[in-house]
């Protein structure tokens, strides 16, 4: 499968625990995005990377959230001290700058987080 | 701040009829406007997009129009089919590649 992949697909955690999600973009895609989607809502922008540089981060994102893309390939999203309000689907998307439709984002299947 | 409003939130049409979904955006620097279709339990998939230097784009039964002056853009689906039933999201991308999504429109196509 050459699409965007995310791991794990489901995560159940207790309030206060830390969780980390991984996203593997389409090979050679240099832009990578993280979104959060709650039931009945559109994806909410969290942050995006161009290669390894984190270029923008939502003002709505608390300090408990951090994302990395150390080698410009896969990315991780960590949530510290999880709260019940963090329960959502976390989506990753990637795009390729500089070729064809370089704005088009391809989404992964998401990681569904449930905080109990 | 940046905002994208989408309406209606729910749309029910008879098979074969047309469906129109409308969005407005707030950031005048927005330059790319994609539309995504999301079926239950699946990832969003791009169905059509338009850039700010184009007023209209069509792909078979789907068309998108953009009015930059009014900051409006719309999705038009003609000859709707039951398999068009899904949630549709509009979005606007700012010059910095941040993408803001609308809240979605749940489209029901009745056979």
- Separation CA B10–CA B103 (nearest Å): 11
Residue B17 per-residue DSSP state: S
- Top residue of A41, A42, A46 to mutate, by most chain B CBs within 10 Å, is A42
- Separation CA B79–CA A20 (nearest Å): 44
Q: What are phi and psi of B18, to 5 degrees?
A: -95, 155
- Tell me the DSSP string of chain A: --S-EEE-SEEEE-TT--EEEEEE-STT--EEEEEEE-TTS--EEEEEEETTEEEEE-TT--TTEEEE-TTSS-EEEEE-S--GGG-EEEEEEEE-TTSSSTT--EE---EEEEE-
* Residue A1 reports pLDDT greater than 80: no
Three-state SS for B96? coil
In this prediction, residue A28 carries a pLDDT of 85
A41 contacts B103? CB cut-off 8 A: yes
pLDDT tier at A97, thresholds 50, 70, 90: confident
- Separation CA B25–CA B66 (nearest Å): 11
Cβ-based interface (< 8 Å): residues of B facing A: 1, 4, 6, 32, 34, 42-46, 49, 51, 89, 91, 93, 96-104
In this prediction, residue A59 carries a pLDDT of 82
- Top residue of B43, B51, B87, B102 to mutate, by most chain A CBs within 10 Å, is B43
Mean pLDDT of A28-41: 93
Query: Do A111 and B40 meet the contact criterion of CB atoms below 8 Å apart?
Result: no
């Amino acid at each position: 499968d050459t699409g965007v992949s995310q791991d794990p697909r489901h995560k159940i955690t207790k309030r206060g625990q830390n969780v980390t999600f991984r996203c593997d973009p389409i090979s050679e895609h240099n832009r990578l995005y993280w979104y959060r989607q709650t039931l009945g809502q559109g994806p909410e922008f969290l942050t995006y990377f161009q290669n390894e540089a984190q270029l923008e981060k939502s003002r709505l994102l608390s300090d408990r959230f951090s994302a990395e893309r150390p080698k410009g390939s896969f990315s991780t999203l960590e949530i510290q001290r999880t709260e019940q309000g963090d329960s959502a689907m976390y989506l990753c998307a990637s795009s390729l700058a500089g070729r064809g439709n370089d704005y088009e984002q391809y989404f992964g299947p998401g990681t569904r987080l449930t905080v109990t | 701040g940046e905002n994208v409003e989408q309406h209606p939130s729910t749309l029910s049409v008879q098979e074969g009829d047309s469906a129109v979904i409308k969005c407005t955006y707030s950031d005048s620097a927005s330059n790319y406007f994609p539309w995504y279709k999301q079926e239950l339990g699946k990832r969003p998939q791009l169905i059509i997009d338009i850039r700010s230097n184009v007023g209209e784009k069509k792909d078979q039964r789907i068309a998108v129009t953009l009015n930059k002056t009014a900051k409006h853009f719309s999705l038009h689906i003609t000859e709707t089919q039951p398999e068009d039933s899904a949630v549709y999201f509009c979005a606007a991308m700012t010059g910095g590649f941040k993408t803001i999504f609308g809240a979605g429109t749940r489209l029901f196509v009745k056979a």
